[in-house]
Amino acid sequence: MRFSGPTYAYVQVSRKCGGCTLECYAPPDGSSLSLKEAKLIADILWDAKVFIVLIDGGEPLLWDGITELVKHFRSKPMATAMVSSGEDISLAEELKKADLSMVQFPIEGPEEYHDKIRGEGSFQRSIEAIETFCDLGIDTHVGTVMSPSNLEYLEEISDIVSSYPVLIHRVIRYIHDTEYLNPEQCVDILTRITALREKGRAIAPTNCYTFAKQTPYVTQMNLDRFQGCVGGNTSAVITCDGYVVPCPHFASKKVAESIDAPRIWDIDLSTIWNTWDFIKEFRRGLQACQNCSDLSLCGGCRAAAYHVTGSFEYDPGCPVSGKVKE
């Protein structure tokens, strides 16, 4: 099924944040959209009938104009979500009034681990943000970036998350050139997520585990709805430099420029979507997946492949692509 354009888009308002020790897909470099540029992007997306927007960063809550931008998106009326690390929640009530649809905050592990990754006091700030936004009645999600170093904490993190009325706990895959989850670790994490769901926990892996069907998690999947990698298929990312890229893991200036990403204000979005060679190659799936029976459903995590191999060769976390490659 081919979409004529993205149905949802990430808008990276800045690459400014408090910093953390995880190597981020958008390393802080001080870049930022102006409110005028962000509103222009909103107008372009709405004209292209992009229905859902996810405001990303950097830290959106530290970006001047965030409330105004949420209001602008909602006036279209696009569903408007935000990914934040909860560094400053002084605008929470204003964001509620602006009708923010959803927000996601991180819990990377128990307090000591989380603070080691995201800075002293960040765990408590995240908890306060979760409590505040839940109390305001804004749909609140929690995200955990799962890497080899916090793999052991999954159940402990789930215990923490389940004590708050969050809608869903999303387990994100850490995309990195060396510290990635290997196939055994990916299967392990998906097996443990399955066990947590069987206990009634609202927890799910993100679509970056494109091969989930090949793991015990298949029992939890609605295969009629599962889309595999959504990058370049239903979603796009607009960086704070205006670059259009297929996935948040291509949203640093360096990576966007290395793939000759076009800018949203230079070329019509539909033209980018339908003619840019890189996005077309992205959609085709990884080289090692071309003979896999799940190619159309999965195709591997392009970002994981790109960051490890510098191309779309193979997904280093996939439990089956090695076999297919042989």
Of 22, 40, 79, 295, the residue at the interface with other proteins (CB under 8 A) is: 79
Contact 165, 122 (CB under 8 A): no
Q: What is the DSSP letter of 314?
A: -
The candidate with the shortest Cα–Cα distance to 203, out of 216, 190, 185, is: 190
Which of 72, 12, 15 shows the shortest CA–CA distance to 40?
72
- The correct pick among 39, 51, 110, 128 for binding other proteins (CB under 8 A) is 51
Q: Which residues lie closer than 8 Å to 180 by C-beta, 6 or more apart? A: 147, 148, 173, 174, 304, 307, 308, 316, 317
Q: Is 199 in the site for other proteins (CB under 8 A)?
A: no
Q: Does 167 bind other proteins (CB under 8 A)?
A: no
Of the listed pieces 71-79, 85-93, 111-119, 252-260, which binds other proteins according to CB under 8 A?
A: 71-79
Which residue's CB is nearer to other proteins, number 11 or number 102?
102
- The DSSP code for 88 is -
Binding to other proteins by residue 101, rule CB under 8 A? Answer: yes
- In the bound complex, what is the minimum distance in angstroms from residue 283's beta carbon to other proteins? 14
Asked if residue 14 lies in contact with residue 31, where contact means CB atoms within 8 angstroms, the answer is: yes
Of 42 and 102, which has the nearer Cβ to other proteins?
102
Question: For residue 86, is the peptide bond before it cis, meaning its omega torsion is within 30 degrees of 0?
Answer: no
**Strand pairing class (235-238; 244-245):** antiparallel
Regarding 233 and contact with other proteins (CB under 8 A), the answer is no
Coil vs helix vs strand at 205: strand
Distance of closest approach, residue 51 Cβ to other proteins, in angstroms: 4
Which range, of 27-35, 46-54, 199-207, 272-280, touches other proteins by CB under 8 A? 46-54
Distance CA 194, CA 197 (A): 5
Pair 304, 186: CB distance under 8 Å: no
Is residue 49 at the binding interface for other proteins, with CB under 8 A as the rule? yes
Nearer Cβ to other proteins, position 5 or 18? Answer: 5
Tell me which stretch binds other proteins (CB under 8 A): 1-9, 82-90, 145-153, 253-261: 1-9
The minimum distance between CB 1 and other proteins, in angstroms, equals 5
Residues in the site for other proteins, rule: CB under 8 A? 1-4, 7, 49, 51-52, 77-79, 101-102
